[in-house]
Structure 1
């Protein structure tokens, strides 16, 4: 990604709760609706599956705008936009994030505003939009309900959550629109890891003080954002914020419930393995190395023309939990070092439940800087590593020769505070840290 980039009611069904007039202020619209329409009886059902099984009745009489992308699908892989349109929901607009509504754009890009040929609905380019521009979209479309349905990957510098945060502020600014999050599991599980963003390091890849691997679902983040940051941002808290909870997910579940359910949430996030490593190997974007874009294994293949076998040997000797390193050579077809043979490693996941990707990447960077005097940041003097890690500390420690263990220890106090501060907004059981 590049820069541009508790439950209030539980009832027999979404419609039943809504019809009963139960308020959902800052809360959860968990429904125990019938099984998903596909009839396959899958154990895990997303918020969209639950709302769709109830005939989308929670949107009856509402004019709806939805923020979604190719991951916004039901159990049978039907787009929720297509299903809502077919089922008579008054769908006034779609708002496309980075990579676009239909997912045709690369990193740092989006689809221009267009009329969706299948539904006739206007799709607005919302990537990089500020609060005023997003509010303008909502006003132009005349929506009274904003829906967010995107499968996030649980990392601060993955931009979809910041599109949600911007939309939340815009909804408050327009006039306290209803805001509904159709929740998804976090593929990294519910454990928070890594440094927390500090003041002065906000950007399109990190707008609020959350951990690098936040360990929350988008619904939980929405509740936390609304309660903690909305007034600080100069907006009134949303009074009609609803989360339709996932059914069948717990925090210890790492990866999608079923591998065949994985849909790439962006072009360079092709597999669950990619997502597992991304919180850490995403930091490679701040270096002059290739992070594997332009290969079939982005964020797993890491290398540069000047690296060699010594890096893999040093990393393998560390015996880091959950991963092994294979000496690898590859030629990216685009992005950094395109067309050049890169030496480096492929990071193999041996046990996803044991992987701490941010610690793994910290060891990778420390060892590379120790071995190779050619190591350098990506043409910005290290600004990018500060934005990705959330402060200047990581760069300062690395360049001062700190060990990986010392760098990792430095963020533990702020991480513990983040875990403590977010606990009241968690909707799902299981370990947090």
Structure 2
């Protein structure tokens, strides 16, 4: 068995460990190996003698696209007794804001528990009723604060502590790299399921690193936590460098290119414009009835790095403007190394408001929930430009970057 590395973070109420085979020269020059691959290579040692439940969805696959639940269920070395489904469900059949409910998985016979919308003691009660000793988390994230799976992780960590269960997090790549954090930091009064804690809009971390951050900063009494890191992944790597298959983490995240723009263009969920749901290019196509080429032209004049905007017309099949032709833009990233999705999203909001007289924020101020404060909305309403809005959050972002640095696992 390869040697292991265990690191304990000080200042937490429970031992927080990182278990992994030591890196080799081969690891540094081959494609990424996920936390699950390294768990299997270690003979499931962190799960030995325990009844295991897995929080996962369709992204929890091996590189030959077998689901980890199927693999673990067939392996006598691990005692898998339950599955926990997040938003969209374990098998991924539900749309945004939905789940699959409680059922027995036809493929394995395992009970599948619905965790969506549950946290605290109600979620702890589910863990207790399932009979598990250890809760394993393995879901592909996309790098944005408002993507709910990282808060499923947070809620599971909180509930695992209440239920006196261990957490084991199996790491996967951040598909848009882990080079740095960008965007505004959430204010506590705007906490919700699309942002429980004050992290940046594009956090630049993996789920394993976020688990360490949550335990060290936001959970005064965290559960016993094991993070099984990847090998062969560098912070500057985009998903296509990983050698891993892409499985859509949710119905409107079909490709890694979608993930690349999502941290910025998802902000259009807070407006009366379509964010491209109901099209084949969600979050890359944006528009509304009555918009024309003036918006694409205005956005192009911002000279944002790494991106161009094409005048586009499309007909969503659901969500906003269903079965109606709308005009707008398609976002084309031509140099992802310098592209900043959050700055781009702000620039598009600024120009959309100026180009379309009917632009408005949704009445529930969902934009404030997404951005984590009133800052973006009020500054754009006051006529601020892209650079002014982005400059306004730099101090809080610098503080988060310093905190983030203490929990990073990869170079």
Within the alignment, does 1:229 sit opposite 2:214 as a pair?
A: no
Matching residue of 2:109: 120
1:92 is matched with which residue: 81, 84, 95? Answer: 81
Looking at structure 2, the residues matched to 257 and 410 of structure 1 have their Cα atoms a distance apart, in angstroms, of 34
2:19 is matched with which residue: 29, 33, 37? Answer: 29
2:346 is matched with which residue: 351, 362, 367? Answer: 362
SS at match of 2:188: coil
- The 5 A counterparts of 1:18-417 are 25-32=15-22, 43-88=31-76, 89-175=78-164, 177-190=165-178, 191-231=180-220, 236-238=221-223, 240-258=224-242, 261-380=245-364, 383-417=365-399
C-alpha displacement of 1:395: 0.6
What TM-score do the two structures reach when normalised by structure 2? 0.94
1:394-427 CA distances to partner (integer Å, 9 max, x unpaired)?
1110101111110000011000100001211111
Looking at structure 2, the residues matched to 56 and 92 of structure 1 have their Cα atoms a distance apart, in angstroms, of 15
Looking at structure 2, the residues matched to 256 and 385 of structure 1 have their Cα atoms a distance apart, in angstroms, of 31
1:150-209 CA distances to partner (integer Å, 9 max, x unpaired)?
01001110000111101101111112x221000011111111010000021011111001
SS at match of 1:170: helix
C-alpha displacement of 1:371: 2.1
1:33 touches 1:54 (CA, 8 Å); kept in 2? Answer: no
SS at match of 1:195: strand
2:23 touches 2:231 (CA, 8 Å); kept in 1? Answer: no
Pairwise CA RMSD = 1.9
2:278 touches 2:318 (CA, 8 Å); kept in 1? Answer: yes
SS at match of 2:296: helix
C-alpha displacement of 1:255: 2.9
C-alpha displacement of 1:118: 1.1
1:329-373 CA distances to partner (integer Å, 9 max, x unpaired)?
000000011111110010011011111111001111101111222
Query: Structure 1 residues 362, 203: closer, same or farther in 2, change over 3 A?
Result: same
1:12 touches 1:31 (CA, 8 Å); kept in 2? Answer: yes
SS at match of 1:108: coil
Looking at structure 2, the residues matched to 68 and 201 of structure 1 have their Cα atoms a distance apart, in angstroms, of 27
1:424 is matched with which residue: 376, 392, 406? Answer: 406
Looking at structure 2, the residues matched to 384 and 137 of structure 1 have their Cα atoms a distance apart, in angstroms, of 30
Count residues in correspondence: 400
SS at match of 1:67: strand
C-alpha displacement of 1:259: 6.7
Query: Structure 1 residues 69, 374: closer, same or farther in 2, change over 3 A?
Result: same
Looking at structure 1, the residues matched to 243 and 344 of structure 2 have their Cα atoms a distance apart, in angstroms, of 24
C-alpha displacement of 1:60: 2.0
Runs of at least 5 residues in structure 1 that lack an aligned partner in the other structure: 1-10, 18-23
